[in-house]
Amino acid sequence: MRIARVMAVGLLLAANALAGQPADRLIAAAREDDGPAVEALLSRHAAVNARNEDGATALAWAAMHNNVEMCARLLAAGANPNLANVYGVGPLALAVSNGSSELAQLLLRKGADANRARESGESPLMTAARMGRTDLMQLLIDQGADVNAREKKFGQTALMWGAGYSEAVRLLLAHKADPRASTHEWDVKATIYTPGFRTIGVTGIPWNFDGDYTSKKGGQNALFFAVQARSLESARALVEAGVDVNLPSADGTTPLLLALYKWDGGGGRNFTFAPDLAMANYLLDRGAKVAAADGAGYTPLHGAVLAAVAASKPAGGGRGRGGRGGGLNGPGGAGPAVVLNEAEALKVVQRLLDGGADPNRQTVYPTSGPVGNVRINPAAPGSSALHIAATSTNVALTRMLAAKGADPNLLRKDGETPFSLAVEANNVEVVKEMVARGANLALRYNPATVVPDPAKPIALRRENETIMHLAAVAGAAQTIEYLFSAGAALDATNAQGETPLRMAQDHEVFEQVLAFEGTNNGGGKRVPLNTTTSDTIKRLLGQKTAGK
C-alpha cells in the first residue's frame, strides 16, 4: 500500500512537471530520458538553457543518461555545454564520469571547456585519469586540458590520480605533467591508544587513551600514489622521469617505507597490512635509503619484519595465553590483503640489514588510521624490529636480526623486551635463540600491562617481576620448563610478594571465571579449571627440592 502511494506521488509530480512551463517541461523530459518529448518541446522553442533548482540543465540530464542523440539535438538547438549545476558539475564532467568518449568528443567539438572543474576543483582530466581512461584523457589534452591543475582540498593532480595506470602516467608525462609536484601539507592531532585489559563481571576495555600528539600529513608526489596503488610500472615511469626515490612526505615517509609499512583499506575501520615486496626491491635497486622513519617512528625494517612475520603466520601464533605483540591487522579484523612469500620477505629484511638498517631503532607512537582517530597497533610504541619478530615463531628472522646486533633485552614503553614477548607467546625455539644471543634471565620487569584480580573486577599493578612471573601469567608452560633448565629462578617474589606459582594459580582461576561467564549465556556450563601451568611449576619446584 505504501509503495503504491509513493509511486502515485511520483507520477503526479512528473505529470505536474510536464504540465508546467515549456522550459520546465524540457528539463523534466530530459530527466526522464524521453527523446520524443524533448524533440516536441524543442520544436516549440522551449528555453534550451533553462535550469532547475540546483542549476542542472536539460543537456546535463541528457549527458547523465549518456544519450548522445539527445545531447546532439539539444546542442544543435543552442544548449550551452558549459552550464554547470551548483556543485560545478557540467555535461562534460558527466560524460567523462560515464566513460563516454563519443559524448565527450561531441561536447568538446561544440565548445565545452576541457578545464571546467567541479566545485571541489576536480577537472574532467582528473576524473579520466582516476578511471585510467587514456582515450578520454587524450581528447581532453588535445582540447587544452591543464595537466597540472590541482583539486582544492589536498592539491592533488591528474598524475597522482592516474598513478595506478602506467599508460595514463606515461601519457601525462609526455604532455609535461610535473612529476615532482606534491600535495598540500597539514597538521593532524592524533590520539594515542594503547591496548587495554580484561576484567571479570564487566566489559573489557579494548583501548586506553594515552594522550595525543601532532603529526604531519600530505606532501606526497605521484610516486607515493603509484606505490599505494601497487603499480610498479607507474613507479618506473615516474622514476625515469626524474622523481627522487628518497624524497620524503611531510611526516618523513619515503616511497620505500610506504611500500613496506603499507596499509590498504576501503575506508572506515576496514584496513589491512599489505606490504609490496616487489616495489620495495625496485626502489632499493634505484638507490632508496634504508634509514627513513615516519612520524610514528616506523622504518622500512619494521615493515619488512612485519611482512616476514605475516608470511610465517602472524603474531599470536605461539601457544601461550598472554602474548602481547599486537596483530597485523587494523581494528577491522580483516586478514592480510596480499599473499606474502616468507623467503622473499626474509630477503628484503636481509637486504635492509646489509644496507645499514638499525635493528634497535624503536617506534614512537602507534600508527594513525585513515581518519586520524583510529589507531593501527601492530606493535606497541617503543618496539624494535626484534620486538615484532619475537611475537612470531620465525626463528630464522630472529637469528637474522640478532646477527646484526638486535638487543633481546631492549625495553619498550610498556616495559616489555623482545625476550619477554617471546616468552609470553610461548615460542620456545625463539626463546632459545634469544638466550643464546644474550637474553638476560635475571632481568626484572615493571610491565605497563596489568593483571586482573582472580575474583574481583579490578586490575592489579605489576612491579619487579621476573621472566618466570611473566611466563606464569601467559600460561607458557613449555617455555617455563626450558627457562628453568636454563637457570631462571622459579621461586622469586615480585613487589607484591607473589611467586610465579601464585600468579599462575590466580590467573588460571581468572581464565576459568571468564570462560564460565562466556558459556553461562549459552547454558551455564562450568568450565574445568586448567592447571597446566601451575602443575608444571609445582613439578619443577618439586624437582628442585628433591635435587637439594
Looking at residue 271, its pLDDT comes to 72
User: Roughly what angle, to the nearest 10 degrees, separates helices 35-43 and 68-76?
Assistant: 10
| CA 498 to the chain's CA centroid | 42
Give 154's contacts (C-beta < 8 A, 6+ positions apart): 183, 184, 218
pLDDT of 365-379, one tens digit each?
888 765 555 567 678
Looking at residue 213, its pLDDT comes to 82
Scanning the structure block, which residue is given the C-alpha cell 587494523?
330
The predicted model gives 117-135 an average pLDDT of: 97
Provide the percentage of residues in the chain whose pLDDT is more than 70.
81
pLDDT of 9-32, one tens digit each?
343 334 344 444 666 899 999 999
pLDDT band of 455, cuts 50, 70, 90: low
DSSP for 330-372, written as a single string: -TT----SS---HHHHHHHHHHHHHTT--TT----SPEE-TTS
User: How far apart are the C-alpha atoms of 464 and 506, rounded to whole Å?
Assistant: 18
Average pLDDT, the chain: 86
- On the 0-12 / 13-18 / 19+ scale of CB atoms within 10 A, 146 is middle
Looking at residue 5, its pLDDT comes to 36
pLDDT of 406-452, one tens digit each?
999 999 998 999 999 999 999 999 999 999 999 999 999 998 877 76
Record the cell numbers describing residue 463, joined without a space.
612491579
The predicted model gives 297-313 an average pLDDT of: 94
Record the cell numbers describing residue 172, joined without a space.
601525462
Q: Is there a contact between 310 and 340 (Cβ–Cβ < 8 Å)?
A: yes
The predicted model gives 514-540 an average pLDDT of: 76
Give 218's contacts (C-beta < 8 A, 6+ positions apart): 154, 155, 182, 183, 184, 185, 186, 249, 250
Looking at residue 320, its pLDDT comes to 44
pLDDT: is 344 or 214 the higher one? 344
Scanning the structure block, which residue is given the C-alpha cell 527523446?
35
Our separate counts of H helices and E strands in the chain read: 25, 8
Give 7's contacts (C-beta < 8 A, 6+ positions apart): none
CA distances from 145 to 108, 155, 172, 287 (A): 11, 17, 11, 35
Above 80 in pLDDT, residue 250? Answer: yes
Please indicate whether the domains covering 2-116 and 441-548 agree at the CATH topology level.
yes
User: How far apart are the C-alpha atoms of 64 and 55, rounded to whole Å?
Assistant: 14
pLDDT band of 509, cuts 50, 70, 90: confident
Which CATH superfamily groups domain 2-116?
Ankyrin repeat-containing domain (1.25.40.20)
Of 245, 253, 312, residue with least CA distance to 279: 245
Residue 395 burial (CB count, 10 A): 18
Record the cell numbers describing residue 128, joined without a space.
579520466
pLDDT of 536-547, one tens digit each?
999 999 886 665
- On the 0-12 / 13-18 / 19+ scale of CB atoms within 10 A, 521 is exposed
Domain 441-548 has CATH 3.40.50.620: no
pLDDT band of 318, cuts 50, 70, 90: very low
pLDDT of 73-115, one tens digit each?
999 999 999 999 999 999 999 999 999 999 999 999 999 999 9
Above 60 in pLDDT, residue 397? Answer: yes
Scanning the structure block, which residue is given the C-alpha cell 590467573?
507
User: How far apart are the C-alpha atoms of 221 and 184, rounded to whole Å?
Assistant: 10
* Domain boundaries 198-412+424-430, corresponding CATH code: 1.25.40.20
Q: Where are the domains of the chain?
A: 2-116, 198-412+424-430, 441-548
pLDDT band of 177, cuts 50, 70, 90: very high
pLDDT band of 326, cuts 50, 70, 90: very low
Record the cell numbers describing residue 389, joined without a space.
619478530
